[in-house]
Structure 1
Amino acid sequence: MHATPATARSYWPHILLLICNLIWAMDYPFYHILAPDYLHPMTLLTLSLLVTALLSLTPLIRQRAERVDPHDIPKLAAAALLIGVMRKGFLMFGLSRTSPVDGSIINTLGPLLILVLSVAIGIDRFTKLKVAGLALGLSGAIAVILWGGSASHEHSGLAGNLMILGGVAATAVYTVWFKKLLTKYRATTVLMWVYCIAAAVTLPFGIGPALHTDFSAWDTRAIVAFLFAMCFLTYLPNYLFNRALQGVKPAVTGIYNYLQPIAAIAVSVAMGLDRLHADTIFFALLTFTGIGLVIGSYTRERS
């Protein structure tokens, strides 16, 4: 039985979310390699946003720029601060102070924070199953944050974990508050405004150290990590995410976050950047179980 065009289109947002979350999972090992040993987090943030801003301008080669309502420009500037400066900044500074394993698990708080914000503005509602999932997921993620400061977790740090949490919160706010903006304009238009503004904000702070960085002294691993981070870790997943958000509810996009720690942990451990602890596995299972309950609540609502 062949899928109808409408059915096929309904799958595309989910496919895009799957791909962008797998790419985002690579943030954790690759940014951890680069910051702070090879680049200061602020310099890494600036270079990343600058490259992404240039990539966001490439659609103008084949299509005319879309007109933006002047009233929406402040909203686009706020989106730039959230998803460009704050999310990426917290992530890069956080990963310079904690482990990629802890960071990727904390990121699973995304769908739970999105749920809370969606309920707060009236586009979703709490059920007993959602509340149970929220409580369980939060308890697991908070335990990861706090245990990261213990002596047994030599690669982790409480300050870094809290920074990762700040990045997750920024992403949740962006996902919920700016969905209408993303459905009003093309994804390429939103990304062009967001990343050009974000690059302009960070450029004065990071361009000086970037120009004085001795890239010739880097080893092969650092060069590969840098090129991968510049080319793939910002524009491409955010383009896919913005396209997907045009076709699904914000809470659905958050559900796919649980793929990130699985991929990030596998890559980080394989690269020798981190190792798993028994308590981390337990807390991660708590978080995943909580997310599973939230997902299950949406399945019940549809039935």
Structure 2
Amino acid sequence: MNKRILAIGAALGATTIYGLNHTIAKGVMPTYIQPFGFIVLRVVGAAFLFWIASLFGPKEKIDKKDYPRLCLAAILGMGFNMLVFFKGLALSTPINSAVLITTTPIIVLILSALVIKEKIGAQKFWGIGIGLLGALGLILFSSEVRQDAPNIPLGNIFILMNSVFYGSYLIVVKALLSKYNPLTFMKWLFTLGIFICLPFGYDEFSQIAWSTLPFEAIWPIIFVIVGTTFCTYLFNIFALTQLKASTLSVFMYVQPLVGIMYAIGTGRDNLTIVKIAGACLVFLGVYLASRRPKKS
């Protein structure tokens, strides 16, 4: 089979897993496991899998001069990013999560302008404004009362913070990804993530009632560790070997569609006027911010 077709399948598979994750991970929090305890499980499980996988990759050592950047990448990408996302997901709804997560390209654009002085044209400027307006609408006007979503506005703020931390991580990690084999890099990143997340999640992790966990809680935990964390990264890395980064970013638009359809199909969430209006503004903003302006 053509490698490009396989790469497209891998990219589609990764974004589909991400879309399903909003509802699947939400389903076990907080009934069976608290968000920070879940993150400890996630980083420990992923670190173990990447160490096993690295046995089949090249033997590399991290240069001492790269230690500070590696630690910062772990703090942003494997620490604060995951912690605020799962906390937000526990407080909010799967549809809000699936929509707000797509603001990441807008956040990256803003950070790029601030950190590396990348120029922002009129089209991208309007895209940033419209996208953030949609996100703000979801935060301020989400007044649903749900037992499984105790504080939707605060949860939405946490999910938006996830985009900020992840966008910062992408900028910090860029130089390291071009220097080291992905398996070498990720095994150390997730290993550092354990030490970063453990102080926040140890109490919640120790409260997990392992002996009474039903299958309906076990399989989502496995899905998050193996699917959402380990497989998606490998899928995206393979896709990048055959596709341009700009092409791969297009698949991001599939994630909220999968997330919304799965959440509604399983009865875990419902559409409201606020969600529809906010989603439309976010999608339009991301489209304008990500679209290449026409050459004059």
TM range (shorter): 0.7 to 0.9
2:34 matches 1:35 = no
Give the equivalent residue in structure 2 for 1:116: 110
Q: Distance in 1 between matches of 2:10 and 2:108?
A: 19
In the alignment, which of 83, 86, 91 is matched to residue 85 of structure 2? 91
The structural deviation recorded for 1:75 is 0.9
Please say which of residues 138-147 and 221-230 is displaced more in the overlay.
221-230
Is 2:53 aligned against 1:59?
yes
Determine the structure 1 residue equivalent to 2:225: 230
1:280 is aligned to 2:272: no
Is the 8 Å Cα contact of residues 114 and 251 (structure 1) preserved in structure 2? no
Retained in 1: the 8 A contact 2:138–2:153? no
Which residue matches 2:95?
101
Q: Which position in structure 1 is the counterpart of 2:189?
A: 194
Mean alpha-carbon deviation: is it higher for 197-206 or for 170-179? 197-206
Instruction: Answer whether contact 1:101 1:274 (CA < 8 A) is retained.
Output: yes
The percent identity for this pair of structures is: 25
Counterpart-to-counterpart distance in 2, 1:166 and 1:14: 29
Distance 1:261 1:36, change over 3 A: same
Moved more, 43-52 or 26-35: 26-35
The total of aligned residue pairs comes to: 294
CA contact (8 A) 2:28 2:217 kept: yes
Question: Which residue of the partner structure matches residue 77 of structure 1?
Answer: 71
For 2:119, the equivalent position in structure 1 comes to: 125
1:266 Cα deviation from its structure 2 partner: 1.1
Q: Which residue of 2 aligns with 1:165?
A: 160
* 1:60-96 deviation digits (Å, cap 9, x = unpaired): 3223421221111111111111111111111111111
SS at match of 2:27: helix
Deviation per residue, 1:150-198 (Å, 9 max, x gap)? 2467746111111111111111111123212111111111111110100
Deviation at 1:214, TM superposition (A): 2.0
Mapped contact 1:110–1:254 kept (Cα < 8 A): no
**Counterpart AA for 2:65:** H
Shift of the alpha carbon at 1:247? 8.1
User: Aligned equivalents of 2:157 and 2:51: distance in 1?
Assistant: 33
- Where do 5+ consecutive residues of structure 1 fail to align? none
Seen in structure 2, the aligned counterparts of structure 1 residues 131 and 255 have a Cα distance that, compared at 3 Å, is farther
Q: TM-score, normalised by structure 2?
A: 0.87
Q: For residues 139 and 251 of structure 2, what CA distance do their matches in structure 1 show?
A: 21
Report if aligned partners of 2:134, 2:279 keep a CA contact under 8 Å in 1: yes
